[in-house]
Every structure is written in structure tokens, then in C-alpha cells.
């Protein structure tokens, strides 16, 4: 499933890798009551919070950038033995139409950079593929951009035991000399940059695209559901620092509305992943493009 958008001189494509099992609203947004949810039933699916594990392809005139890489091929026992499909979804996006059926032509050669908003499992899953226990980069010509605060946090002994995907999908990139550890504001290309947006994880960052005068912000897990546009104080239970997450979300949403930014959110439903922050009757809402 892929949705394409043209923003200024940039093509932005939203790709779904996997659809995990839905979650109870009270479990996902801890502390939020049924009464608080009552005005926002439209953001639930069958009464539950349904996430989508998405990634984005940003194509400028000179570069093609992946922002996050989904959950990975799987199967993933902790997600109901589901498998990811991102790589096959990329084939018609990255290759000319007459090459899409040629298995000798690979999408992996088309990506110049992979930029990670953070290092949770559903954002790094297609970094590496394994054959005979040997890792090989899925995007073999790309530089993998990783926030330093996340790398430092997730590679501690305690976190490696809790998050085994780090050893499989992140750490080998260093030995392969493909990763670039960055901190603070970082310019990836002339049109694409990273900006710190911590809270969900210690090093969480957003990706900013200058699309011919129009700004696009790819938010990673700063937003999990469109409901957080109306209620930026609602934090996912998995946020590392909820107070910081809330502060960053409110600041960036305010700026996005004030300056008319386009926002891309990979966990939103298909067809709703790219949009704007708008105000209606004194309440801020998500408006899909």
C-alpha cells in the first residue's frame, strides 16, 4: 500500500510495511479515560487504536531518501507472526515501470540515505537482511543516519537485553561502515535535514524537507494517532519521557500550524499519513491532503 504526493519539487511516498494487532485506547494512551475519548471516536477503528507501521520515500532532483524502514520481513512472534512487505512495496516506487517485473533489478540500489527518526524495532526492521547468519544492507548504497542519543541509550548492556533488534538491525551497520551517528541539527542533503525532537526516545528526531519553499516535517513517533493533533497532551505509554514528549509535540504542532507545514506521520492510516494541522471552531484537527 503506497500513497504518493507531490510537494513543491519533491515527491513524497508513504509506504505501509505491516499492520499490527490493534490496541485498547486506555492501554495505548495511558491515563486517558473513555469520557475523554468520546469526542474522538472517528480516530478509533472498531473501538481500538490501530497503528500502521509505515515509512516514507523522499525523492528530490538529486537524492532518494528512506525515512525509517518499518518492522522488517519477520515473521514477528510478538506481533502475531506477521511479516513485513516494505521491500516489495518499494519496487514500483523506485524502479521504472518496465523494470518492476525484472527480479535482477533491485530497489536497494536506488536509495542514497536512510534516515532514522529513532531506533525502535518498527523503524529499523529492513536495515539488514541475513543469509547464513551474515548481515547485508537492504539498501547497499545508502548511508544510514542514526541519532547519537538513541544509539548511546539502546546499545547499553541493559537495553541490548531488552531490545535484541538493536544487535541485529543497527549495530552491524558500524562494522559495515554504513552508519553515520549524528546529534543536534544535521543537514543530510541540500533539501533534507534532521532536528532533535526527544521524548518518545532520548534521541528521537524529526526530518525536515525544504520542498521548493514548502516545508514538510516527517514526525516519526512524535505522533501515533491523528487524535494527538487535537490533544497534544496525550502521550503514548511507550514514550521514554512523557513530559518532554508533550512539550516537543505542542511546540512543533504550533509551529506547523502557524507556518503551514505539511506533516507526514507513518503510524496514521493509509490515505491519512500526509496532511496539515488546521483549526476548526477553536479546536485543532488533522486534515489529510
What pLDDT is attached to residue 30? 85
**Would the pLDDT of 78 be above 90?**
no
Give per-residue pLDDT as tens, 155-196.
999 999 999 999 999 999 999 999 999 999 999 999 999 999
What pLDDT is attached to residue 101? 56
What pLDDT is attached to residue 99? 56
Nine-digit cell at 77? 512472534
What pLDDT is attached to residue 97? 65
More confident residue, 91 or 244: 244
Task: Say how many domains are in the chain.
Answer: 1
**Would the pLDDT of 249 be above 80?**
yes
What pLDDT is attached to residue 80? 86
Q: What is the rounded CA–CA span in Å between residue 147 and residue 98?
A: 37
Q: Average per-residue pLDDT in the chain? A: 94
Q: What is the rounded CA–CA span in Å between residue 223 and residue 218?
A: 10
**Would the pLDDT of 230 be above 70?**
yes
What pLDDT is attached to residue 134? 95
With cut-offs at 50, 70 and 90, classify the pLDDT of residue 281.
confident
**Would the pLDDT of 282 be above 90?**
no
Tell me what percent of the residues of the chain surpass a pLDDT of 90.
Answer: 86
Beta-carbon contacts of 133 under 8 Å, excluding residues fewer than 6 positions away, are none
Q: Residue 103: is it exposed, middle or buried by C-beta count within 10 angstroms (0-12/13-18/19+)?
A: exposed
Give per-residue pLDDT as tens, 203-229.
999 999 999 889 999 999 999 999 999
**Which CATH number fits the domain that encloses residue 69?**
3.60.15.10
pTM: 0.95
Give per-residue pLDDT as tens, 253-280.
999 999 999 999 999 999 999 999 999 8
Nine-digit cell at 83? 511479516
Q: What is the rounded CA–CA span in Å between residue 217 and residue 262?
A: 6
Q: Residue 244: is it exposed, middle or buried by C-beta count within 10 angstroms (0-12/13-18/19+)?
A: middle
Give per-residue pLDDT as tens, 83-108.
999 998 998 888 866 655 555 567 77
**What is the domain extent for residue 149?**
2-288
With cut-offs at 50, 70 and 90, classify the pLDDT of residue 1.
low
Amino acid at each position: 500500500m503506497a500513497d504518493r504526493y507531490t510537494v513543491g519539487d519533491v515527491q513524497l511516498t508513504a509506504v505501509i510495511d505491516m499492520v499490527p494487532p490493534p490496541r485498547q485506547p486506555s492501554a495505548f494512551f495511558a491515563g486517558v479515560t473513555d469520557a475523554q475519548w468520546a469526542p474522538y471516536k472517528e480516530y478509533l477503528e472498531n473501538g481500538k487504536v490501530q497503528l500502521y507501521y509505515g515509512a516514507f520515500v523522499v525523492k528530490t532532483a538529486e537524492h532518494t531518501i528512506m525515512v525509517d524502514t518499518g518492522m522488517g520481513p519477520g515473521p514477528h512472534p510478538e506481533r502475531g507472526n506477521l511479516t513485513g512487505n516494505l521491500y516489495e512495496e518499494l519496487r514500483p516506487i523506485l524502479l521504472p515501470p518496465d523494470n518492476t517485473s525484472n527480479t535482477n533489478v533491485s530497489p536497494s540500489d536506488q536509495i542514497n540515505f536512510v534516515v532514522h527518526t529513532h531506533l525502535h524495532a518498527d523503524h529499523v526492521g529492513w536495515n539488514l537482511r541475513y543469509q547464513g547468519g551474515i548481515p547485508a544492507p537492504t539498501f547497499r548504497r545508502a548511508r544510514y543516519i542514526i541519532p547519537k542519543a538513541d544509539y548511546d541509550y539502546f546499545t547499553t548492556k541493559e537495553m541490548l537485553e531488552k531490545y535484541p533488534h538493536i544487535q541485529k538491525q543497527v549495530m552491524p551497520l558500524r562494522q559495515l561502515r554504513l552508519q553515520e551517528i549524528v546529534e543536534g541539527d544535521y543537514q543530510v542533503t541540500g533539501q533534507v535535514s534532521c532536528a532533535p525532537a526527544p521524548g518518545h526516545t532520548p534521541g528521537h528526531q524529526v526530518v525536515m524537507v525544504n520542498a521548493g519553499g514548502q516545508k514538510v516535517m516527517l514526525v516519526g513517533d512524535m505522533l501515533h494517532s491523528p487524535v494527538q493533533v487535537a490533544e497534544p497532551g496525550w502521550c503514548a505509554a511507550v514514550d521514554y519521557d512523557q513530559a518532554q514528549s508533550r512539550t516537543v509535540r505542542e511546540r512543533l504542532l504550533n509551529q506547523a500550524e502557524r507556518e503551514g507545514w505539511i506533516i507526514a506521520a507513518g503510524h496514521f492510516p493509509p490515505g491519512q499519513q500526509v496532511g496539515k494541522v488546521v483549526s476548526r471552531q477553536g479546536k485543532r484537527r488533522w486534515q489529510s491532503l
